[in-house]
Amino acid sequence: MSRGLGRCQRRIVEVLEKSPERRANRAELEEVLVELEGFDESNVLRSIRSLARRRFVIFEDGHCKENSFVRLLPRREPISEDWLFEVLAKIGGR
């Protein structure tokens, strides 16, 4: 079994990355993925939930698709070694 993102999951992330606010509601995602690209509606929801469990997105499930929002988590920057050594030196030099 693959541990990477599936095709539908990758497309969801790509669509969200292209969005100015890095978010969309389920109706908007399904308009692109189901109607235009032929993904199954249940696979889109399953992919969103999987991405949320894996902490790629935040999924706010509402009563209807228009009130169910998916957004990407903020971009994470790697911690520099210089900053880490500086913090450790401050901790050790108390």
- Tens digit of each residue's pLDDT (9 = 90 or more) over 13-48: 999 999 989 999 999 999 999 999 999 999 999 999
Higher pLDDT, 3 or 83: 83
pTM for this structure? 0.76
Higher pLDDT, 2 or 50: 50
Q: Does domain 7-92 have CATH number 3.30.750.24?
A: no
* CA 88 to each of CA 3, 76, 77, 85, 94: distance values in angstroms, whole numbers, following the listed order: 34, 21, 19, 5, 10
Q: Cα(19)–Cα(56) distance, rounded to whole angstroms?
A: 15
